[in-house]
Amino acid sequence: MDLLVFAHRAEAQAFLKNEKWKSVATKPFSLYQSENEASYLLISGEGIENAMTATTWASTVIGDNLQRIINLGVCASLNEDYPIESTYLVRTSYKQNTEKEMSFRSFTTNHYSSDALDINTVERRVLSKEEADHLDNFAPLVDREFWGVAFAANKLEVDLIGIKTVSDIAGKNENICEIVKEDAQLWSELLYDKLQQTDNVKESVINDDILIDERFNSFHFTFSQKQQLKNLSKVIEARGEELIEFLEHNKLFEFNEDHRPKDRATHLIRRINECLFPYDEKINSKIETIKKELSKYDVKISFHPEKETDEFNINMKVSNYLNLQQKFDALNAIDYKSLFSLFQGKEN
C-alpha cells in the first residue's frame, strides 16, 4: 500500500479531484484513503518536523500494510539549468543544519531514473542568492519537507519515492509564497502526470476507450487531462448523451490547425466545461480579466481554487505614495458587482 505525502492541500488538488477519496482523519493531520483502498493521501503541513511527525503518525494508522511512501510537492531550483515547471524524481536528500553547515546524514530513494536529481531540505525559505549558491554545491534543488519524510521512511523500513516540480528559482523573489499559491493547480497537475509516468508506480485506471475516435489523434492529452475528460464524459452521459455525440453537435472537434496538439487538448476541455457549466466558465473568464488588468499595476489577486466562495486575497508591493494611489485606482476600477452576481448564479 502507498502513502502519498504532500505539505499542502493545494499541491494535492489534482489527486483529490481525479481520484475518489474518503476522509480517514482530520486531526492531528488530514489523511484520506482511496476508494479502492490501495493508497492513502496525507497532508503533513510545512517543514521538516511536520513532515517527519505526520508521516510517522500516518504509518500507525495504516499499519503493516504500508509498503511505500511517495513524497510529492513543489521545490525551488538553485540555478536556472532546472527551469520552472520541470518535474523530477528525487535521488538523494541532504539536510541543512545551519546556514553554512549540512547534516552528515542523507537518504537515497528506492526508485529513481537516470535524470533524477538530488535535493537539499532546509528549515526556512532560501531568500538570498548567496545562500542559494552555497546550497547549489550540494544539490540543484531545495525544499522544506523531503528529508523529514525520508527520515521517517528509513525508520519505518519502507520504500521511498520523491517527485518534485520546480515552482520558482530560489533567492529571486521575496513574495514567492503568494506567487507559488497562484499556480498551485498547475504544480499539482505536473506532479500527478509525473506520478502516472513513473515506472513501477501503478497508474490510475484511465479508460482510453473514450479516445478511440480517430479525430482524437489531432489532440495530445496528459494523464490528468485524460482523467478530466473521463470525468466530463460521465457528466455528459448522466445528461443522456454520449461523449462523441456531445462533441459533434457542439462542434467541439473543430480546432485551429496552427495550435499544437497539447494546446488543442487544453482548449477542448475548456470548451466542454463552457458547454456543461456555463456559470463556472463565466466566473473563470471574469476572474482572468480582472487578474490581467491588475497585473499591469503589479497587483496580484487570488480566489479559492474551487470557487467555493467569492472571497479573494490581494497581494501588492508599494514603493511610494503615488504608486499606492495608482494601485488603489486600479482596484477601484474593477467591476466587482458583476463578478459577485456570477458567484450568486445571476446573469449580468
Ordered mean pLDDT values, 10 residues apiece, the chain (348 residues)? 94 91 94 92 95 96 91 93 92 86 87 85 88 91 96 92 93 65 88 80 48 83 76 87 90 82 86 82 81 89 69 87 92 83 65
Cell 526556512 belongs to: 124
Q: What is the mean pLDDT of the chain?
A: 85
pLDDT value of position 179: 64
Q: Give the closest residue to 134 by CA, choosing from 117, 114, 151, 120.
A: 120
pLDDT value for 305: 62
- Gap between the Cα atoms of 346 and 258, Å rounded: 36
How far apart are the C-alpha atoms of 100 and 96, rounded to whole Å? 8
Element housing 117 (H / E): strand 117-121
Distance of CA 170 to the CA centre of its chain: 18
- Nearest CA to 9 out of 38, 33, 43, 35 is that of 43
Looking at residue 205, what is its pLDDT?
Answer: 37
Q: Which amino acid is at 180?
A: V
Q: What's 58's DSSP letter?
A: H
> Which CATH number describes the domain made up of 2-197?
3.40.50.1580
Q: Return the pLDDT at 203.
A: 40
User: Of 265, 269, 267, nearest to 217 (Cα)?
Assistant: 265
pLDDT of 202 reads 42
Which pLDDT score is estimated for 201? 47
For residue range 83-128, what is the model confidence (pLDDT) as tens digits?
999 999 999 999 998 767 888 889 998 777 778 999 999 988 887 8
Eight-state DSSP code of residue 203: P
Residue whose C-alpha is closest to residue 120's, from 96, 104, 103, 99: 96
Amino acid at position 14, single letter: A
Nearest alpha-carbon partner for 141 in 87, 195, 201: 87
